[in-house]
Amino acid sequence: DTGVSQDPRHKITKRGQNVTFRCDPISEHNRLYWYRQTLGQGPEFLTYFQNEAQLEKSRLLSDRFSAERPKGSFSTLEIQRTEQGDSAMYLCASSRFMGGQPWNTEAFFGQGTRLTVV
Amino acid sequence: DQQVKQNSPSLSVQEGRISILNCDYTNSMFDYFLWYKKYPAEGPTFLISISSIKDKNEDGRFTVFLNKSAKHLSLHIVPSQPGDSAVYFCAASEGGSEKLVFGKGTKLTVNP
């Protein structure tokens, strides 16, 4: 297993187009997270899944954004009607939650998908 | 409203010396803290973490100190190596939430 994989690595799209990103987590990890990072900022939480259930969503995730993890394995993040403000690095991370843990386990990040909206 | 603040955008140290990276937080509900390291064109890599019931955690050359009363944590790297040159992010979470809140990062440069 080579870690968290994201595809594509780079995406340039015209304003108003829809884009979809894919994330393949580490195989035994049951939790999957999406973050967004803009220039000069730290990553900002968007949403996370435990298996196929989407358990938490940020207010940053407007109705143009949708994330799925249909079989509890890979995940997709779709942005509809892209805007220039959506230009950012979209990071996926995964972790293994074994229950009974009092605190979060560390998440392992992929290399990200850099989106440029022109 | 930045809940996790890294007030130094950059830090430069000599190889072999100590690097100290600082982080302040405002949310008293945070109970778990992590440091991530990020190289250019790569995703963040987990480095070390600490829970609020401890005040120190050590892993090899890396030590994290937590001062809950001051809402402050720091990462010490001793001795610093050129390969440590990267952007370091401090992150925090509240109990029961999987959401990590990150600071803006500090770019560390270790000079040979």
pLDDT in the model for residue A103 = 55
**CA–CA separation, A108 and A103 (whole Å):** 16
Res A102: pLDDT: 52
Q: What percentage of chain B reaches a pLDDT higher than 70?
A: 99
Q: What is the mean pLDDT of chain B?
A: 94
Task: Give the mutation candidate from B39, B98, B107 for the A interface (greatest A CB count, under 10 A).
Answer: B98
Q: Which long-range contacts (CB under 8 A, 24 or more apart) does B102-105 make?
A: B102/A42, B102/A43, B102/A44, B102/B4, B102/B36, B103/A42, B103/B2, B103/B4, B103/B5, B103/B6, B103/B23, B104/A40, B104/A41, B104/A42, B104/B2, B104/B5, B104/B6, B104/B9, B105/A42, B105/B6, B105/B9, B105/B38
Is a pLDDT exceeding 80 seen at residue A1? no
Cβ contact, residue pair B97, A91, below 8 Å: no
- The residue among B63, B73, B80, B64 whose CA lies nearest residue B5 is B73
| Predicted confidence (pLDDT) at residue A85 exceeds the cutoff of 80 | yes
What pLDDT, on a 0 to 100 scale, did the predictor assign at position A100? 61
Model confidence at B12, pLDDT cuts 50, 70, 90, reads very high
% of residues, chain A, pLDDT over 90:
75
A115 pLDDT tier (thresholds 50, 70, 90): very high
pLDDT band at A45 (very low <50, low <70, confident <90, very high): very high
Nearest by CB: A104 against B43, B45, B93: B93
pLDDT of residue B97: 78
What Rg do the C-alpha atoms of chain A give, in angstroms?
Answer: 14
B46 by DSSP, 3-state: which?
A: strand
Q: Is A27 exposed, middle or buried (0-12, 13-18, 19+ CB in 10 A)?
A: exposed
Across the interface, whether the CB atoms of B49 and A110 are under 8 A apart is answered no
Average pLDDT value for residue range B52-59:
95
Identify the CA nearest to A3 among candidates A98, A108, A85, A77.
A108
A-B Cβ pairs (cutoff 8 Å, strict): 59
Q: Is A93 on the interface with B (CB under 8 A)?
A: yes
Lowest mean pLDDT among A66-75, B55-64, B75-84: A66-75
pLDDT band at A28 (very low <50, low <70, confident <90, very high): confident
Q: Taking Cα atoms as reference points, which of B75, B101, B63 lies closest to residue B11?
A: B75
Residue A101 is predicted with a pLDDT of 59
What is the pLDDT of chain A when averaged over all its residues?
91
Q: What is the pLDDT of residues A65-78, one digit of tens each?
A: 999 999 889 999 99
Q: Does residue A104 surpass a pLDDT of 70?
A: no
Do B99 and A48 make contact, defined as CB atoms within 8 angstroms? yes
**What is the distance between the alpha carbons of residues B40 and A39, in angstroms, rounded to a whole number?**
12
Per-residue pLDDT, A32: 95
Please report, for residues A12, A116, B21, B66, the alpha-carbon distance to residue B4 in angstroms, rounded to integers and kept in the order given: 31, 27, 13, 14
Q: Calculate mean pLDDT across residues B38-58.
A: 93
Q: A23, A4 in Cβ contact below 8 A?
A: yes
